[in-house]
Amino acid sequence: MAVVRPFKSIRPTKELVSKVAALPYDVMNTEEAREMVKGNPYSFLHVDKAQIDLPAETNQYDEIVYNTARKTLDKMREDGTYIQDNAPSMYIYRQIMDGRVQTGIVGCTSIDDYMNDIIKKHEHTRAEKEQDRINHVDHCNANTGPIFLTYKNVGEIDEIVASWTAKEPEYNFVSEDRISHIVWVINDTETVKRLEELFKSVKYLYIADGHHRAASAVKVGKMRREANPSYTGEEEFNFFLSVIFPADDLYVMDYNRVVKDLNGNSSEEFLNKVSEKFTVEEYKREGQYRPEGKGYFGMYLDNKWYKLTAIDGTYDSKDPVKSLDVSILQENLLRPILAIEDPRTSDRIDFVGGIRGLKELERRVAEGMKVAFSMNPTSIEELMNIADAGEVMPPKSTWFEPKLRSGIFVHELS
């Protein structure tokens, strides 16, 4: 039984929402963020990545960064950039990218559901990244970036969404990457109550993206509970900001790999070793090879594309983790042939999100990498199966597009 409840969102005015809305803080580095906000004092990156307004030598984890974030958020509320809804509401957030539509419910989910595994995870988190967002959330007294959740479709929720999205939206703008962002405010008490009831019929919610933000929000909630031992469980710090999409709406892109060297092998030696676990065919058609299904991989080496097909018996098709394409490549090629034991820590491998296209793999090889691999995307069903089994996915298994924009909704903790 999932808890999803309304909240009084702090959100931009209609006139400024397109300038405020920003990509998540963790998809760019500080220098890139500085460039992105030039000429735009309203960008939410001034809150989410506040070091961009401090001297270049400032440590991004220094307390002055979090204090600056809070001051900037307070200023945006004081100067009228932000308003706050008078009554608890839910919201509908629709994104349209290249004609494909995903539409989610914006509400607050429970830290208890996270701790009790009603909200399912599929990734490990890193302590230093968690601590950064713990500090940010605690200083700002707010969840500033939404958690991207998904669930197995519920027909009546779909019907409510369809009826509300026939109305005039509150926001409707196109961001610089040509993605449409449309928001409706569900401020009807009966509809909100019905949505709360319907989500109680949902057995599990699944984190699609935002594991560090979720873990940090939960830890801040626990800190607030310890500081307020008479808490009732209804306080806002017991909940965190989420956008919850039906699984059928979501699109997972490929997450490709590039490697610096062949681990001492010549190209011929490397191809011979690869052929022990994969059938290797030179791809004769024009353009890049995009894998057509599970067990297929593209490989770009010496200005040629190859089609790799995993040989039967190289993986356990019944194991939800071992049967992932990212696992098949790791266990049958990257580790045994290229000696990449841990892709999270190796400096010989890099990852390229599918949004950049397969030509980016050719470019990276031309600039010095030795070999590239194009991947078949991990499916939502595979993600859910792994989460249900209590397992974790290998690193860099999923790339979701479009990215949720930060700054459209802010959830105040007290």
pLDDT tens digits along 315-352 = 888 999 999 999 999 999 999 999 999 998 899 999 99
Q: What percent of the chain lies above the pLDDT cut of 70? A: 100
1 or 186: which leads in pLDDT: 186
Please compute the mean of the pLDDT values over residues 150-179 and round it to a whole number.
97
**Per-domain residue ranges for the chain?**
4-251+401-412, 255-376
Residues contacting 343, CB < 8 A, separation 6+: 257, 330, 334, 349, 351, 394, 395, 396
- Residue 126 confidence (pLDDT) above 90: no
Q: pLDDT value at position 11?
A: 98
Q: For 190-202, how does the pLDDT look when each residue is reduced to its tens digit (9 = 90+)?
A: 999 999 999 999 9
Q: Which CATH number is associated with domain 255-376? A: 3.30.1760
